[in-house]
Amino acid sequence: MEYKLTTRNEVETIELAQNIESEKFPNMIICLEGDLGSGKTVFAKGFAGAMGIDDHITSPTFNIIKEYENGELPLYHMDVYRLEGDISELALDDYYHADGVVIIEWADMIKESLPKEHLYIKIKIIDEDTRLFIFKPVGKKYEDICEAVL
């Protein structure tokens, strides 16, 4: 099942992320897909802020993975764009089972390496400010999250 929600500005995107964060659990995996400037990092910022992480959140494009340990749970923020699908150097399974939350930007580039259960969010640019979020929960926990907050 798919769920769709439209945001009309960054504030609404952050509020959406905060609503999803309210249902977080250890080993939660959020996979983000969307064009450059679609709001993937804005979503991650909103989620991190709701977790109590006060660090400046930026896309980890050059680091690939940024770890934030100062929130309610650890947050592992990934940007796999530069890997061009080659994740052989990353220990993704270790992150998937590290009792934190994993947010993966450009997850469409590593679909075959995603865990069996995850929340997949595709973000489409409608206009300069408006975004369409398409949620595809994979697994019961993620279906329950979508039912609770969307």
Per-residue model confidence as pLDDT tens digits over 36-55? 999 999 999 999 999 999 99
Distances, alpha carbon 38 to alpha carbons 61, 67, 75, 79, in Å = 15, 23, 21, 14
Q: How many domains does the chain have?
A: 1
The CATH number of the domain where 56 resides is what? 3.40.50.300
Half-sphere exposure of 137 (CA within 13 A, CB side): 17
Mean pLDDT, rounded, for 118-140: 98
Average pLDDT, the chain: 94
Q: Which domain holds residue 107?
A: 3-149
CB 102 within 8 A of CB 80: no
**pLDDT at residue 85 tops 70:** no
pTM above 0.85, yes or no: yes
Mean pLDDT of 104-132: 96
